[in-house]
Structures are given as C-alpha cells and as structure tokens.
DNA sequence: AAGTTACG
DNA sequence: AATT
C-alpha cells in the first residue's frame, strides 16, 4: 500500500479501498441516506446555504445552521438518531488513525459537479489529539491543505475514489478545502459527483 | 464557523 | 482579507 507524506502530519493512501470495497461502501451509504436523508447545511448568522449536501452516521453528527456549527446526536430534519457507522469505516479508522479510541462521527459530504468547500479548519471537536480520517468515493476532487494560519503556504492534491487521507498531529488544525470536482472522472456513483467521508473523535475519551 | 470573492 |  502506497503511503505518501504530503506534509508534516498529512498522509495520503491512494487507492486504499479497492473497487469492490468502494462499491460495498456505496451500498452501505445508500442505506445510511435512506435512514438519514442528505440535508443542506447553512452558514451561521447569514443562513447562506452550502453547495455541499450532508448527512452523518455514528453517534454524533456535524450540522450547521443559523445557530452555529455543532455536533449533535439527532438528524436536524427528522429528529432521529444517526444510523450506526458501517463496519468498514470503523475498520479503516483502526487501520489508519493510530488513535486508541473509537470514532464517534462520520460526516458524509456529497459534492455535485459544481460544489466547493472553502478553506476551513475542523475545530468543533473537543478532542484534537485524534486525527481526522477522510475517504473519497466517486469523482476526483482537487483538495488543498495548508497550515494552521490563513495565508500560509498550501499544497494541492487530487483525491480519487478509494483514496484515504489522514491529518493529525501538527496538521490537525490545518486549513483545508475542496477547490473543484473533476466531473466524469469516476463511474462509481451513477449520478456522478463525489462523496467524502470524514471520521472523527468528537469527545474526550473517558479517563 | 466549512457561505462568497480573491488569491495563491 | 475575516468575523467563534
């Protein structure tokens, strides 16, 4: 398995999930989305919608609306608990994260061809000792990651279907985002687009 | 506050 | 730039 050191604290595994594992995971995610439909997050204060649609699985899910960013145990529209995390995701975390506690949240982001995600930090978790693990499915994304301050040097890399990316340690609070989606670059998702899964530990583990 | 544009 |  090829393991690329992108920057200190950032590791990229191209093709971490093979084609069969990707297809099985897509089937799992269809079941997740049937139980917890994709919703359109909105910006705090302004209510401006994101171009990315989201759902979650695991015990906690990340949501955003006029009130703010937060993790919560219930779907913001249905009021139901998030579906459990598929086993393959828990296994990927155990395999790659080098962190001795279970992940609590898996944010499922769907990027249509014209969706973007501006540079941001993942800082709504209580536990920054745990890394963030990202898995990509479907169309390739042009991903950008920099340092912990805006305006610093950044590096761009393509994340293709099946790739894993981990950022932790000194990169845990690195600014990162999605510049664009390369439409038509994968046939995994019949409707096209990209699904990104981000696994996180949210709470401090019990002492 | 993960929006936007601009910039890199 | 620019805000939790």
- Across A46-64, average pLDDT: 94
Reported as a single tens digit per residue, the pLDDT across A85-105 is: 999 999 999 999 999 999 999
Name all protein residues with C-beta less than 7 A from any atom of nucleic acid chain C.
A 44-45, 68-69, 150-151
- Percent of chain A exceeding pLDDT 70 equals 100
- In the predicted structure, residue A207 carries a pLDDT above the cut 90: no
Question: Within window 24-83 on A, which residues have Cβ closer than 7 Å to strand B?
Answer: 43-46, 48, 50-51, 62, 64, 67-69
Q: Domain residues of chain A, as ranges?
A: 4-200
Q: Provide the CA A127 distance to its chain's centre, in angstroms.
A: 16
pLDDT at A45: 87
Q: Which residues contact A126 (CB under 8 A, 6 or more apart)?
A: A202, A203, A204
**The CATH fold of domain A4-200:** Jelly Rolls (2.60.120)
Q: Residue A113 — pLDDT band, cuts 50, 70, 90?
A: very high
* Å separating the CA of residue A50 from the C1' of nucleotide B4: 11
pLDDT at A152: 85
Nearest nucleotide to A68 (CA to C1') is B1
Answer yes or no: is A107 CB < 7 A from strand B: yes
CB atoms inside a 10 Å sphere around CB A149: 10
Reported as a single tens digit per residue, the pLDDT across A146-202 is: 998 888 889 999 999 999 999 999 999 999 999 999 999 999 999 999 999 999 999
pLDDT at A93: 98
Nearest nucleotide to A151 (CA to C1') is B8
For strands A132-138 and A164-167, give the pairing.
antiparallel
Beta-bridge partners for A167? A10, A132
| Cα dihedral A140, A35, A61, A117 in deg (nearest 10) | 30
* Å separating the CA of residue A204 from the C1' of nucleotide B1: 21
Task: Tokens for A22, please give them.
Answer: 């990707």
pLDDT at A137: 97
pLDDT at A16: 97
Q: Which residues contact A165 (CB under 8 A, 6 or more apart)?
A: A6, A10, A11, A12, A13, A133, A134, A136, A143, A159
Phi, psi for A47 (deg, rounded to 5): 75, 10
């Amino acid at each position: 398995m090829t393991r690329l050191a992108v920057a200190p604290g950032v590791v990229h595994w191209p093709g971490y999930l093979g084609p069969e594992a990707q297809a099985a995971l897509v089937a799992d995610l269809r079941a997740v989305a049937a139980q917890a439909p994709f919703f359109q997050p909105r910006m705090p204060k302004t209510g401006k919608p994101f171009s990315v649609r989201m759902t979650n699985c695991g015990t906690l899910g990340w949501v955003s609306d006029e009130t703010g960013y937060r993790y919560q145990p219930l779907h913001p529209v249905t009021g139901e608990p998030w579906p459990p995390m598929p086993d393959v995701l828990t296994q990927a975390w155990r395999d790659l994260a080098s962190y001795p506690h279970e992940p609590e949240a898996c944010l499922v982001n769907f990027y249509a061809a014209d969706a973007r995600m501006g540079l941001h930090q993942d800082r709504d978790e209580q536990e920054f000792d745990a890394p963030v693990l990202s898995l990509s499915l479907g169309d390739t994304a042009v991903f950008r990651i920099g340092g912990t301050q805006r305006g610093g040097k950044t590096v761009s890399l393509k994340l293709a279907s099946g790739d894993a990316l981990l950022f932790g340690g000194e990169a845990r609070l690195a600014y990162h985002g999605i510049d664009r989606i390369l439409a038509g670059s994968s046939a995994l998702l019949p409707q096209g687009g990209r699904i990104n899964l981000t696994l996180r530990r949210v709470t401090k583990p019990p002492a």
